[in-house]
Amino acid sequence: MSSRRVAQRLAIVGLTAALGLACEREPAPSPAPRASTPKSSTPASPPPATKTPAAPKPKGPPIRKDGTVFADSELMGTRVSINVWAGPPAAADGVGAEKAIRAAFDEMARLEQILSEWRPNSELSRLSNAAGGPARPLSPELLDVLVRSRAIASATSGAFDPTFHGVGQLWSFAPGATPPTRAEVEAKLPLVDWHELELDETAGTGRLSKPGMKLGLGAIGKGFAADEASALLARMGFPNHVVEVGGDTYAAGTKDGKPWMVGIQRPGERGVVGALPSRNLAVVTSGDYQRYFEHEGTRYSHILDPQTGWPVPADRSPKSVTLVASNATDADAYCTAVAVMGVEAGMTFVETHEGLEAVIITQDDQVEVSTGLRAQLVRPPAAPNDKTPAPPQTGAAGGG
């Protein structure tokens, strides 16, 4: 998608080019004829040499004191930010960093047009609208996301399900929203079944087997966009950066040799419960406090259980889940699945699956940390209600 369609709010100064304009003057009028005079035998001195002024160097965006260039935008229905380490401040390539950041935003905008269930003309919407029909050719990006979605749906026994939008379309979490009726949910629930998503990787095609089925990639698409933007930044010569898409963060490389620090937000409050030194790592957070509405004394969170069609009940719903994995695509989907499973079942799942780590905050503000993170998570000096002893504060790391 063209960057003209992106409502970007870049916090950087655009690239300026200094153009030297050569001006032609009209020739001066010839002087009036004079009486001839003898020519001097002494040759005239040559005019003094003049230096051609060097063209000014293009100015890039402001380089922060730590050598980073930061920008943010609105994409995929959320805030998106990129922080690139462009090198030591005195030698940082701000112009190149800005070019790479703009390209990364453009790539995410292009992916939104492929993966969004909220855009009627997106490739995903067209696939949903053809449910029950023959297989359709899929772009490599959509096929990749759907293949990974099926794999994670299988691994989580349907706690993550890319076909949830069949019932999810009944829900709105805007202020003043009301829940659908039980009859409406029950009528749509049979359309939620990831087994009915048929994919042929060899042919590059896919279909939904039942008419009326709908795909929704809101719980994996943002992570995929973060991964793709990160890969593009690296290809353009900036391997050290942080891409954040609405709570889905991928930290690549380092900042001047030090790991990026990714904070874990305290649910519904300012401040963090801790920070994770991150290098080539995805850190994704989702919480029931982020989007919800209240109706007739009941609170409805945006995290839906695909097996019931209703928000995860408060008695098992965590306040927030932070999922850590090697890539943001997997971290995004598994984060949602763990939130649907609940605190105990979710942490058990994480502890028994290699490559996953988590921080889960319960409704009563207990902080549960998986085994592999306990020695890495940097905690504030005071951490009330935490069952896990805070590790010692060791050294300074690069900020994220």
Per the domain annotation, does 31 fall within a domain?
Answer: no
Into how many domains does the chain fold?
3
- For 265, the token pair is 């937000």
Whether 189 and 274 share a structural domain:
no
Share of residues in the chain with pLDDT > 70 (%) = 80
- Give the range of the structural domain holding residue 139, as residue numbers without chain letter: 133-208
Q: Which of 364, 357, 359 is nearest to 388 (CA)?
A: 359
What are the tens digits of pLDDT across the range 352-365? 999 999 999 999 99
Residue 370 maps to which CATH number? Answer: 3.10.520.10
Whether 274 and 345 share a structural domain:
yes
Residue 151 maps to which CATH number? Answer: 1.10.3980.10
Please give the pLDDT value at position 27.
40
- 368's enclosing H/E stretch is strand 367-369
Per the domain annotation, does 30 fall within a domain?
Answer: no
Please give the pLDDT value at position 271.
87
Distance between CA 88 and CA 66 in Å, rounded? 7
Please give the pLDDT value at position 253.
98
Whether 299 and 369 share a structural domain:
yes
Q: Which of 287, 134, 100 is nearest to 208 (CA)?
A: 134
Mean pLDDT throughout 319-325? Answer: 97
Query: pLDDT confidence of 60, banded at 50, 70, 90?
Result: low
- HEC string of 236-257 equals CCCCCEEEEECCEEEEECCECC
- 293's enclosing H/E stretch is strand 292-295
Per the domain annotation, does 280 fall within a domain?
Answer: yes
Per the domain annotation, does 125 fall within a domain?
Answer: no
Mark which of 248, 269, 302 sits at the end of a domain: 248
Per the domain annotation, does 326 fall within a domain?
Answer: yes
Distance between CA 51 and CA 289 in Å, rounded? 65
Rounded to the nearest 10 degrees, the angle between the axes of helix 328-341 and helix 221-235 is 160
Would the pLDDT of 38 be above 60?
no
Would the pLDDT of 334 be above 90?
yes
Name residue, tokens 């994670």: 152
Whether 69 and 161 share a structural domain:
no
